[in-house]
Amino acid sequence: MKLFGTAGIRGTLWKKVTPDLALKVGMAVATYKGGKTAVARDGRTSSVMLQSALVSGLLASGSSVLDLGLIPTPTLAWATSRKANAGVMITASHNPPTDNGIKVFNGDGTEFYIEQERELEEIIFSGSFKKARWDEIGMVESEDVRGEYISAVLDFVNHETDLKVLYDGANGAGSVVAPYLLREMGAKVFSVNSHVDGHFPGRKPEPRYENIAYLGKLVRKLNADLAIAQDGDADRIAVFDEKGNYVDEDTLIALFAKLYVEEHGGGVVVTSINTGSRIDEVVERAGGKVYRVPLGQPHDGIKRYGAIFAAEPWKLVHPKFGPWIDSFVTMGLLIKLIDEEGKPLSEIIRENIPTYYLVKKNVKCPDEFKGEVVKKAGRALEEALGSEIAEVLTISGYRFNLRDRSWVLVRPSGTEPKIRVVVEAPNERRRDELFELAFRTVSKIVEDLIKRKAKRTWQASES
């Protein structure tokens, strides 16, 4: 059994995530890491309850606790790297308000690596916790690190601006940092959904286009230079340009990848398996190289390849600041880029980032079949695509990079009973042709497996 997914432990309250689980995670982290543990939470209605249980577990196994209160996940990662031996964040990030979760961090601010998560699971499932003697039980101290963190970001970005910025905090933890950071930079800030409320009354917490499309109209109405939206714990960032156009995730990554590679005169950029070819194109033109890693593991790619920049959709890592996802550094550097270029964001994108056409769709698939479906689909697509294939990546499924810079990805969802099908191509006709092939292939395999199971069930009932 696995507790950890692609981004920590996450699930529905009382079904997967409970105070008892939080207590055990606290005991396991203290047993595994020891020393001082920084703890924080997002604004969900269940976060105080879960944090209290977590802290009890940490104390029971001998750790002291630095309680940082309600802050964004990037702030917790930064504070852990400076003040503690480990960090734990109570958050379900962009999930609905019925969910919550737990993320664990190392003393350098990196999220736990896969092997560390497995070791924590082993401690939890075996019950092999350290039990502190009465005189070994840890202590709790509290600290508000928001001002110190904002100062650190300001020092790193090193830029003042007079841009007009529309900010949407999703009623999440980013609301206690972002408006203050932007105003300290000199920006004129228009804020929406920027009071913390665990019911997320303003919008769904995930900053997908369909959840934040209204920002496009609002940007134009306010004559703002850009809009910035975050999710529930503020590790994710989404952007609209001054014309109200949504800046898709790959374009934002490509902008920063190009910037870093040009600054370094080369270097390695690490991105997740589901990112697009425009990143490869701009990085290779600038003299760099792209490596892809599983979702949730950009920090592992930094360590493995010595990357100068790492990202997955909506989540950007700036290693010179720290090896964690940090949307606040991203927003500061994006504003700096717009000012230094002296052009609107839409022009910067048009002049620097090539256009590709992407489509994503899910195929419903019972969890028990996901592994078999992906393997069968991979074999079928490899045969169908044949000589068009330039490279096959088998990280988190199958990704086929084709000679014309098109690509096809089939991977199992880490959180839902679904298979993700993603296709991108340099033109819409090619995209549609490849998507029809991939989606039809996956759907047929799922259908056949479900029918086969139903037949076996019927035969067993008849015998």
Active-site residue set:
93
**Strand ranges, E, within 52-144:** 64-70, 86-90, 99-106, 140-142
**Strand ranges, E, within 31-184:** 36-41, 64-70, 86-90, 99-106, 140-142, 164-168
Looking up tokens 């970005």 gives 157
| Helix pair 146-157, 73-83: axis angle to 10 deg | 90
Contact criterion met (CB below 8 Å) for 438 and 410: yes
Q: Distance (Å, rounded) from C-alpha 230 to C-alpha 58?
A: 30
Contact criterion met (CB below 8 Å) for 65 and 37: yes
Contact criterion met (CB below 8 Å) for 219 and 190: no
Sign of CA dihedral 129, 130, 136, 138: negative
DSSP letters along 405-460, please? S-EEEEEE-SSSSEEEEEEEESSHHHHHHHHHHHHHHHHHHHHHHHHHHHHHHHHH
Alpha helices in 297-427 (DSSP H): 298-305, 327-341, 345-352, 370-385
Q: What angle (nearest 5°) sits at the alpha carbon of residue 100, between those of residues 96 and 106?
A: 130
